Amino acid sequence: MCKRLLLITTLLLAMAVPTYAHLTGAFADFLAIVYDETTISTLHEELAQTRADIEALTPQVAEAENVFRDNQQQAIMQLQAYAETGLDTWLTMMKQGNDVVDLLGNQWLMEQQITTYLQQLNVLYSEFKTLEQAQQSLQGHEQLLYAIEKNLQAREAFLAETAGLELDVIANYLDIDWTAEVEAHIIADLTADMNVINDELLQWVQQPALTLPEQWLNDKSAATYYFRNDHIYMEYELEFAHVLILGQVLQQETGDAAQFVIEAGFYNGFFLPEELLVELSGWSIAYETLQQLDGVDQPYITQQNGYLQIVSK
Amino acid sequence: MKQKIIVWFAFFMLVTSSASAHVMNRDNMYRDIAMSEMADAIVFATSLGIIRDVENDQQFKPSTTLTMKTLAAWYGAFQRLDGTSEHELATAAVAAGYVSTIEGNATYADVNQLYFDGQLALTNKQATLTRAEFAEFITTHAMTVFGEETLLAQAAFTAGPTGVVEAVNKVDTAYVLTIGGKPYTLGMHPSIIGNSVDPSIWTGQYIAQSFFAPNHTSDMHSHDAASQALQFIVLGDTPFITAISEVEEDTTATSLQTIEQALIIDEEPVETSSENNRMMWLVMFGVGAIVIGSLYMYKRKSLK
């Protein structure tokens, strides 16, 4: 039985290898990968779950914020009261003949109470911010899932249009479409993004937080960027093309700039092979320019949800 | 999030030869821990493999009480039992006899029994704990010897180099750190306690603690993935595991800073602030000192 299975497997491999070998075009290898027809429905399930998670978090965030705001207002009033009555209390205690040790002891106790109170308030603030951050992150994830859905729909549409054609013909079409209709546009638009960033980097910086929000770049770019703390995603659409690019903002080897380093890409749901990917060059952020900002010294960039953060070493 | 992407593009992992190592820290490991005071402990416990994202949703829910089901699933995953979902792993842990039930909330005694053979002397055995407190407990006792071994050893963690990072080089997709003149390969998905997940930034920074461990099997497809590599790094002056109490003190300082920001910077206009209040106390103290001094001098003059 084992020998028979081995023989069948060998035969299948022998048949398969020439098929792969005959494929032409850069996308050939990736078309050979089995396409899971449940992918779109699984994506929809994930979208539904994400929406449910966001909805479930909404009242929790609101409640945590209310609790924090209430306590914040009380804290403000209490601190104001301390500040306003502090001197009077001192004078009253002095009039009553309290000695210095008592006065300092009372002040220390009061400071301890304020510290404890602020710590309790900080716990509420952390809980509120944790929930808010989780909700914002899920909203960002939902946006990204929509982008992925478009990419997969483009794949389905392409496969429907090319149904019945040989695999190598489909691969050729993909290769030709990319080279003739997409590559030059996306390279030009990436270059345009690079130029905008070079020319207007200081305008991009939001003070005093020293952030670079994705929205600013999206307003000026032909692409849509999704800045996330794990990756940077770029969605690029033409009439018949949907491209998703993944990468990270990493420091260049020269150490004088951070660059959007492109790691992977998908064109109409098909993986972009490395030989095409290397033609795409991501924008960069010059440290020299950032050093013109007050308080920025030896800068580097970290990725956050919705923005890049400028940090000094 | 990345895991989700891989689900949609299953073939991505097969061909992602141009991807760099992905370093994880408190900002990107889970969606909801960055603000947690125990975020670094959560990163560490996850790095050890003791905490797993068994729900595969990148949410840790730090303030949620740890349930027996989650504890059983995490322990099942740590023991490499079959299963991927929380339910599968928890059920497998029951079948393997590690836990008798997956109902209700976990206690410190349950954690002690599972991870430390019940050998830790605890005063709060029957207290329940949050998921973040579990991470802190694991971190606190990661180096505690029980039955002639430690959790670190169980997780196949061995001590790595410390010192200044003299250089960071990228060899294909793997990063190589030079410390004390020797090269050390960074894991493909290492965790750090530090601000930047970009290893290039670490040049000149000090590594206070590090650990080697094998790369995850899913990383082995990469020809750059060394079998043993640096998987956990603490950037800064203080080792993380032996510095829990100091971290707590630091956290207090951070808390005050954070709340001051909340009172001053938050969207709603705030009429006063802790900083102003502190200044007020300083002024009051100064005025008080002058008055007391004056009274003292006045009394001395009167006596003369």
Tens of pLDDT, residue by residue over B5-32, are 333 333 333 344 455 678 999 999 998 8
B298 in reach of chain A (CB within 8 A): no
- The answer to whether residue A61 is domain-embedded is yes
Q: What is the mean pLDDT of residues A179-199?
A: 96
Identify the pLDDT of residue B219: 55
More confident residue, B272 or B184: B184
Same-domain pairing of A137 and A262: no
B167 in reach of chain A (CB within 8 A): no
Same-domain pairing of A171 and A309: yes
Instruction: With a cut of 50, say whether residue A107 has pLDDT above it.
Output: yes
Listed residues A96, A131, A161: the one ending a domain: A161
- The answer to whether residue B8 is domain-embedded is no
Residue A193 to residue A205: CA distance in whole angstroms: 15
Give the range among A213-217, B63-67, B237-241 with minimum mean pLDDT.
B237-241
- The answer to whether residue A21 is domain-embedded is no
Same-domain pairing of A218 and A292: yes
Q: Which of A81-95, A117-131, B135-149 has the highest mean pLDDT?
A: B135-149
Same-domain pairing of A174 and A272: yes
- The residue range of the domain holding B291 is 254-303
Residue B185 to residue B200: CA distance in whole angstroms: 13
Same-domain pairing of A209 and A225: yes
Q: pLDDT, tens digit, for every residue of B51-67? A: 998 887 788 989 899 99
- The answer to whether residue A7 is domain-embedded is no
Q: Which of A118, A71, A110 is nearest to A93 (CA)?
A: A110
Same-domain pairing of A133 and A68: yes
Q: What is the mean pLDDT of residues A71-82?
A: 77
Identify the pLDDT of residue B21: 77
- The answer to whether residue A272 is domain-embedded is yes
**Structural domains counted in chain B:** 3
More confident residue, A169 or B110: B110
Angle at Cα B2 formed by Cα A312 and Cα B7, nearest 5°? 175
Q: Cβ contact (<8 Å) for B272 and A79?
A: yes
Q: Cβ contact (<8 Å) for B18 and A83?
A: no
Same-domain pairing of B258 and B221: no
Listed residues B179, B201, B235: the one ending a domain: B235
Q: pLDDT, tens digit, for every residue of A123-176? A: 888 888 888 888 888 888 888 888 888 888 888 888 888 888 888 888 888 889
Same-domain pairing of B284 and B226: no
DSSP state for residue A202 in the 8-state scheme: H
Same-domain pairing of B196 and B163: yes
Share of chain A above pLDDT 70, in %: 83
Q: Which residues of A touch B288 (CB under 8 A)?
A: 90, 94, 103
E runs forming strands in chain A = 211-213, 224-227, 232-238, 241-251, 257-267, 270-271, 284-286, 299-304, 307-312
pLDDT band at A103 (very low <50, low <70, confident <90, very high): confident
> Chain B closest CA to A248's CA: distance in Å?
9
Q: What is the mean pLDDT of residues B230-257?
A: 63
Put simply, the chain B residues between 13 and 42 with a CB less than 8 A from any chain A CB are: 14-20, 22, 27-28, 31-37
Q: Cβ contact (<8 Å) for A300 and B201?
A: yes
Identify the pLDDT of residue A39: 63
Same-domain pairing of B259 and B188: no
- The answer to whether residue B247 is domain-embedded is no
Identify the pLDDT of residue B264: 45
Same-domain pairing of A157 and A184: no
pLDDT band at A212 (very low <50, low <70, confident <90, very high): very high
- The residue range of the domain holding A118 is 35-161
- The answer to whether residue A275 is domain-embedded is yes
A32 in reach of chain B (CB within 8 A): no
Identify the pLDDT of residue B155: 92
pLDDT band at B284 (very low <50, low <70, confident <90, very high): low
Listed residues B205, B235, B265: the one ending a domain: B235
- The answer to whether residue A11 is domain-embedded is no
CB burial readout A116-141, b (16+ within 10 A) else e: ebbeebbebbbbbbbbbbbbbbbbbb
Listed residues A161, A187, A216: the one ending a domain: A161
Angle at Cα A150 formed by Cα A230 and Cα A133, nearest 5°? 35
Share of chain A above pLDDT 90, in %: 36
Q: pLDDT, tens digit, for every residue of A21-48? A: 333 333 444 444 445 566 667 767 777 8
Other C-beta atoms closer than 10 Å to the C-beta of A95 total 8
Same-domain pairing of B194 and B169: yes
Share of chain B above pLDDT 70, in %: 69
Same-domain pairing of A92 and A207: no
Same-domain pairing of B61 and B133: yes
pLDDT band at B96 (very low <50, low <70, confident <90, very high): very high
Put simply, the chain A residues between 132 and 171 with a CB less than 8 A from any chain B CB are: 133-134, 137-138, 141, 144-145, 148, 152
- The answer to whether residue B179 is domain-embedded is yes
Same-domain pairing of B292 and B213: no
Listed residues A139, A161, A183: the one ending a domain: A161
- The answer to whether residue B19 is domain-embedded is no
Contacts of A26 (CB under 8 A, 6+ apart): A174, A175, A178, A273, A275, A276
Same-domain pairing of A113 and A246: no
- The answer to whether residue B11 is domain-embedded is no
Identify the pLDDT of residue A245: 92
- What is the rounded average pLDDT for all residues in chain A? 81
Q: What is the mean pLDDT of residues A205-216?
A: 96
Same-domain pairing of B113 and B193: no
B56 in reach of chain A (CB within 8 A): no
**Structural domains counted in chain A:** 2
Same-domain pairing of B151 and B72: yes
- The answer to whether residue A239 is domain-embedded is yes
Q: Cβ contact (<8 Å) for A119 and B280?
A: no
Residue B24 to residue B30: CA distance in whole angstroms: 9
Amino acid of residue A306 = G
Same-domain pairing of B171 and B231: yes
- The answer to whether residue A2 is domain-embedded is no
Same-domain pairing of B38 and B145: yes
pLDDT band at B172 (very low <50, low <70, confident <90, very high): confident
Contacts of A55 (CB under 8 A, 6+ apart): none
- The answer to whether residue B295 is domain-embedded is yes
Residue A251 to residue A260: CA distance in whole angstroms: 9
Residue A150 to residue A144: CA distance in whole angstroms: 10
Integer CA distances (angstroms), B106 to A127, A216, B58, B62, B275, in order: 22, 47, 22, 15, 42
Same-domain pairing of B141 and B44: yes
Identify the pLDDT of residue A287: 97
Same-domain pairing of A97 and A126: yes
Listed residues B155, B174, B194: the one ending a domain: B155
pLDDT band at B289 (very low <50, low <70, confident <90, very high): low
Residue A310 to residue A158: CA distance in whole angstroms: 41
Same-domain pairing of A307 and A171: yes
Substitution target in A125, A132, A144 with the highest count of B β-carbons within 10 Å is A125
Same-domain pairing of A175 and A83: no
Identify the pLDDT of residue B66: 97
Q: Cβ contact (<8 Å) for B284 and A130?
A: no
